[in-house]
Amino acid sequence: MSFSSLVTIIPSTVLKHYIEGPPIKSWDLKFHLAVKLLKSDGRLWKLPIVQAQKELIEFTKIKAPSNIIIQKVILDERYRRKSIIHLEKSLKQYEDVLDEKWKEPSDELHGEWVYIKEDSRNNEADKVVLYMHGGAYYLGSTEYSRIFTFKFAEYAKARVFAIDYRLSPQSQFPASLCDAVAAYLYLINPGSDAGFEPINPKRIVFAGESAGGGLTFATLLFLRDAGLPLPGGAIGLSPWVDLTQSMPSFWDAEIDKVDHFPKSLGLHKIISSSPAKEEYIANAKFLADKIAQKKPKIVGHPSFTEVPRLQFYCANEALAIPYISPMLAESLGNLPPILCQVGGHEKLHDEAILFSHKAASPHEYQLPSYATKNFENSPFKNPTKVVLEVYDDMPHVWHIFSFSKPSQIALERCCDFIKRVTFVGDDNASMIDLLQEEVISHSQSHSFVAMRINKNGETRSLDETDRDCLKWDKIGVVPKV
């Protein structure tokens, strides 16, 4: 059931008693109720892991409109095997802090094609969106992501391929990255049994929300570092790019009153006990003992090991790996064009803004200090073309409230980006060439456009407070809370 239909069926008499009034003046009653239901309930966070994973799929199932076709597929294991070969080579420097079970997947890699009926042709000229769902790396599915994939297929006239990457804690980093790379290899180098010709990487756009946005950018970084072909562009919707949870907005009391993203140092504290959680705890202890014995020399900060394990997704010692926390990468240069959308009132506000600035100006934002020792020797110093959009008053992944105008505006702008970035063939084109003329005044450089967008879709320059996070001196440092 969608949030729109859920809000519709609640009687108005109940609404009057249930709500206290929107915390933000620009929110209407329907939007406020949808956010409040998500925030005050928080039931999924309190359920046993396996139950939460199953219930989110059931709760978010969306029936396909008459003009949408869904084609379920199971990828041949050869794509994962190819991905594993690439990952083993690139992740060798981190192997002492990783759970090796990712190399032994216990299930198949599922995905689904989504496209409109009028665009059912399969040819190499089509543009394709590779979509990665959110859910803190432990929730989510292709069904969950349909609220996005349906819109991308319809508005951008693109074929969308969404994947069910492996979830934590059952499968930890780099299992999801392995599956994302495998899906990309499936698109650009399919076997004869795939049913389509190889897709030109420049006609592919990665996209994802929240953790899926983080995985989107992590996959870009990995492909760049591994010397593999890069896609035409990437979109992050409220991307989670800092798993150290180090930025001020994450802990801002005023934002917490508005945003529905859980305020907790790590999810394990708020997840109910269950066999899956107990197994996770046992496996985490085994990995911690292994790391202690190996004494790995890996980039990090003392704060990582001063607190209990934070994330289901990885050991604390691994938090600064760029394919886990892309914001902490030594350089975010030499990536394909990026569109980053974030809410003005969400906990991930600061990390999305810092990530965008670092990508557009690799020389200027070499942060955090403990991870920049090799920047001068980096081959990735060229600015990445970035469009940063900060939406007034919006909480985390407001896009899911599809009945709202800010959601519609944001998704339409995503689709406009998809069409433009897969059409422009000149790698030297500026970001202005990829956008409408109305945003030229918000261009900060040849490679960077940053703007605020209000509920009516009107644009202006960033607020001064948006840049406060660029001066933060504890980037990538796990806070003591």
pLDDT in tens, 226-259: 999 999 999 999 999 999 999 999 999 999 999 9
Q: Which residue has the tokens 């959601």?
A: 407
User: For residue 163, what is the enclosing H or E element?
Assistant: strand 159-164
| Contact by Cβ (8 Å): 114, 162 | yes
pLDDT tens digits for range 257-315: 999 888 777 766 666 677 877 888 888 899 999 999 998 888 899 999 999 999 999 99
- Does position 445 have pLDDT exceeding 80, yes or no? no
Highest mean pLDDT among 44-48, 190-194, 463-467: 463-467
Residue 13 is predicted with a pLDDT of 39
Q: From residue 146, give the alpha-carbon distance in Å to each of 69, 135, 179, 181.
A: 12, 14, 19, 21
Exposure of 461 in the CB half-sphere (CA atoms within 13 A): 7
Residue-wise pLDDT for 342-380, tens only, equals 999 999 999 999 999 999 999 998 888 887 667 888 899
- Does 169 sit behind a cis peptide bond, omega within 30 degrees of 0 on the bond before it? yes
Neighbours of 370 (CB within 10 A): 15
Delimit the CATH 3.40.50.1820 region(s) of the chain.
Answer: 58-260+320-471
Class of domain 58-260+320-471: alpha beta
Query: What are the contacts of 297-302 at 24+ separation with CB within 8 A?
Result: 298/93, 298/94, 298/96, 298/97, 299/370, 299/371, 300/370, 301/244, 301/368, 301/370, 301/476, 301/477, 301/478
Would you give the end-to-end CA distance of the chain in angstroms? 36
* Per-residue pLDDT tens over the stretch 312-332: 999 999 999 999 999 999 999
Instruction: Return the DSSP state at 210.
Output: T
Backbone angles phi, psi at 5, to 5 degrees: -70, -30
Q: What pTM does this model have?
A: 0.92
